[in-house]
Structure 1
Amino acid sequence: MSEPDRNIDFKQLNGITLAYLGDGVYEVFIRRHLIDEGITKPNQLQRKATKYVSAKAQAGLIALMQEDQILSDEEDYFFKRGRNAKSYTHAKNTSVVTYRFSTGFEALFGFLSLSGQDDRLVELAKWCIKQVDSGRVVYEK
């Protein structure tokens, strides 16, 4: 992987662009977690990953972050930028509100990645995994 272009001002990127990156960043944490748990069959990996990365799960996680007041003002700002961004895609199998909250969740992870806040990124990813694994966030089809 090549070194990212640090001339890009991440604070000027729109919420959808941040969410695009954040989706991939969070997904890597989840894939690594599942493999570390010993799950190796592709069908099982995909099915289990949905509990963490579905729009419903991500919307539930961001709601818990707000409830537990674990986000800084800056993190909340980037969540809201993603949540409020104009999207040209539509929600699949979920409500528009859930989809927007999920987009905000992903934008938060994109912001943390682009701003080089790797320790915080790891901290929040581990927190999210713990919430799902403990049953605090429940994915429903």
Structure 2
Amino acid sequence: MNDYLHFTMDDADIGRLSSLALAHVGDCVYELLTRGRLVTGGLTTARNLHSHTVALVRASAQYEAAQKILPMLTEEESDVFRRARNTKVHGVPKAASKAEYAYATALEALFGWLYLKGRYERINALYDVIAQPEA
């Protein structure tokens, strides 16, 4: 039976993916982490879960999340992030600046890259920093 929850790819296959393809996967990974955090954190109504999720996964929030983890990234992770941040996108949502959207795309690409490499502990370590309230 295939494991559809834990996809992994080898380095050559991952290297053939565009930054936007990595961001496509990472968007889902990041939202799943956020939704799980909210559900296990005590939010129970669909309305509360949805509004809090949207607030945490929008480009401006992902920009802030990226700022928290950038100093922690390895050289390889920084390369993935930088490449995705510099990717040309065809549109930016009205609610986000071009810079916020670029960083959000880069954050999602990083999470997608880590997921496809099977680096779940690293995903958790980075997301744990993101989830910490501001001091």
Q: TM-score, normalised by structure 2?
A: 0.87
In structure 1, the residue matched to 2:33 is: 29
In structure 2, the residue matched to 1:135 is: 134
In structure 2, the residue matched to 1:90 is: 92
In structure 2, the residue matched to 1:81 is: 83
RMSD of aligned Cα (Å): 1.8
**CA distance change for structure 1 residues 5 and 50 in 2, over 3 Å: closer, same or farther?**
closer
**1:11-90 counterparts in 2 under 5 A?**
11-66=15-70, 69-90=71-92
- Give how far 1:13 is off: 1.1
- Give how far 1:77 is off: 0.7
CA contact (8 A) 2:24 2:108 kept: yes
- Give how far 1:11 is off: 1.9
Secondary structure, counterpart of 1:109 in structure 2 = helix
- Give how far 1:5 is off: 6.5
Secondary structure, counterpart of 1:98 in structure 2 = helix
The residue identity in structure 2 corresponding to 1:20 is H
Q: Any unmatched runs of 5+ in structure 1?
A: 137-141
Task: Give the Cα–Cα distance (whole angstroms) in 1 for the partners of residues 134 and 55 of structure 2.
Answer: 10
Task: Give the Cα–Cα distance (whole angstroms) in 1 for the partners of residues 26 and 8 of structure 2.
Answer: 17
CA contact (8 A) 2:8 2:117 kept: no
- Give how far 1:20 is off: 0.6
CA contact (8 A) 1:79 1:107 kept: yes
**Aligned residues: percent identity?**
31
In structure 2, the residue matched to 1:114 is: 116
Q: Deviations over 1:78-102 (max 9, x none)?
A: 1112111122232231111111111
Count residues in correspondence: 131
The residue identity in structure 1 corresponding to 2:57 is V
Secondary structure, counterpart of 1:116 in structure 2 = coil
